A and B are shown apart, each in its own frame.
Chain A
Amino acid sequence: MKSRMYKLDTLSDLIKKGKKFWLAADENLLKQLPKGEWIGGTIPYFMADKGGVITNNEIFATELPDYISSTEIKIYDETNLKNVYKDYSGNGITFIIIPAMSKSHLSFALNAPKYDNFANRPLLGWISGVHLNDLGKISAKIINGKNGEISDQKAIVMNITLPDNMISEIGIINIFEQGSGPCFEFFQDGFSSKKALVDGKEVEFAKYVKENKLDFKLPLVADYNGAMINISFQNIDEKTNQVNFYAPVFRGVKYYQAKSFTNYVSEFLNKTPPAENMLFSCNCILNFLYSELEGKTTGDITGPITFGEIAYQLLNQTLAYVNIYKHS
């Protein structure tokens, strides 16, 4: 599969030739690309062939294979994003990019598991972002290559159709496992919490977190029938006395803080599947930062480093990918 970093001119030529792409780059670069069959999201962090890199000068592009018979681009807002699983059927992949901190991001994060036809069609994608130095100054965006539409609130989707003899499968690589500490439960769905149950006992969660010196680099991990789903800590809001997360916690789910580990890259490589069938992957900015991945490679796995990963629902501190297989 052809996923790699491109210079603006080289990629522009390929778009003009009719090649189809999923793109990730700085907003200024994406705006300069010619119109064509592509969608993109903003981000300056990447896992490139040569390792983790931060750049505003290159574009990470996933070229869609020629056997993809049709593509359709659609923009969703927070009111109709609930239709994302049922708008398309058939054999293919729905690829989605959502701007960080947008209404559609918050809506998707909280509600995706309850959408009609949830998980009925492969849905993969990422949350676009900005350089961390630009947080609060500029917004994350998505862009529709077909008409140049840019949004910092709406989600963009490209549905692709695979030939009948091919099938896709979404997977994740999560190096975190539930630790042996207390069980955390929350009273409501949301990106923040004031109170929690810790081993069944109600506590002021911010106070508990501080007193017990929870390491915010280690996410809360829920077991979804064998799939380990992380909720990353963001911070404690001292004014509101609540703990903020990068993804919502859900009522009724039991969370355990992850076990610590010594070396992200070696843990990651131990769990990495072969990349030869991989069309696309993305990894989390928190993994990039906490594990100091700049300049380091993670095997053959490349892709944008994102403000959230989407594999059917929003994920944190996880690598999400899609493989494509031929079958008889």
Chain B
Amino acid sequence: MSLPEATNLIWSDILLEHKQIDFKFFAAKIFIGNAKLIYKDDPTPQNLQKLTKELRELFAKNLNLPTVQEDLKKFYK
């Protein structure tokens, strides 16, 4: 499963809870859980862009994990 581009709205939709995904990848859970708190304190477009970039990088670095592959399938459901 390939990774959505950085410009894909899926990344911000996940952080803004417009898209609910039951993640298997533990690092994604804990990153997103904290990123939501950080965004709540600083809800600027710049901060959202930074956090979505970091979220995508987390997935990009771990594409070979079975849990990440499983999670990516859920992006389009």
Give the complex CA separation of A113 and B26 in angstroms.
Answer: 14
- Does B5 make an interface contact (CB < 8 A)? no
In the complex the two chains form, is B62's CB within 8 Å of A167's CB? Answer: yes
Inter-subunit contact B23/A226 (CB<8 Å): yes
Residues of A within 8 A of B31 (CB): 118-119, 312
Distance of A172 Cα from B62 Cα, bound (Å) = 17
Fill in one digit per residue for A45-56: 1 if any B CB lies within 8 Å of its CB, else 0. Answer: 000000000000
Interface members, chain B 27-53 (any A CB < 8 Å): 27-34, 36-38, 40-41
* B61 CB-CB contact with A under 8 Å: yes
CB distance from A230 to the nearest CB of B (A): 13
| B65 partner residues in chain A, CB cutoff 8 A | 167, 169, 325
Q: Looking at the assembled complex, report how far the CB atom of A107 sits from the nearest CB atom of chain B, in whole angstroms.
A: 16
Beta-carbon contact of A224 and B54 below 8 Å: no
Shortest beta-carbon distance from A179 to chain B in Å? 19
Shortest distance between the CB of A129 and any CB in chain B (Å): 23
Q: B66 CB to closest chain A CB, in angstroms?
A: 8
**Interface presence of A1 (CB below 8 A):** no
Interface of B is mostly: helix
For the side of the interface on A, what is the size category? 20 to 34
Q: Is A266 an interface residue, CB under 8 A from the partner?
A: no
Q: Which of A112-140 contact B (CB under 8 A)?
A: 113-114, 117-122
- Find chain A residues with CB under 8 A from B37 CB: 113, 250, 252-253
How far apart are the CA atoms of A60 and B41 in the complex, in Å?
42
Q: State whether A117 touches B62 (Cβ < 8 A).
A: no
Chain A, residue nearest B22 (CB)? A226
Q: Which residues of B contact A250 (CB under 8 A)?
A: 37
Would A252 and B23 be within 8 Å (CB), given that A120-B54, A120-B58 are in contact? no
Contacts of A121 in B (CB 8 A): 61
Contact with B along A288-327 (1 / 0, CB 8 A): 0000000000000000000000011100000000000101
A120-B58, A226-B23, A250-B37 as given contacts; A327 in contact with B64, CB under 8 Å: yes
How far is B27's CA from A10's CA once the two chains are assembled, in angstroms? 37
**A171–B24 CA distance with the chains assembled, in angstroms:** 10
Q: Which residues of B contact A225 (CB under 8 A)?
A: 23, 28-30, 32-33, 36
- Given the complex, which residues of B lie within 8 Å of A113, measured CB to CB? 34, 37-38
A113 to B33, CA, bound (A): 10
Measured in the bound complex, the distance between the Cα atoms of B60 and A186 in whole Å is: 35
Give chain A's interface residues, CB within 8 Å of chain B: 113-114, 117-122, 167, 169-172, 222-227, 229, 250, 252-253, 311-313, 325, 327
Per CB-CB distance, the 3 closest pairs between chain A and chain B, nearest first, are A224-B33, A227-B29, A113-B34
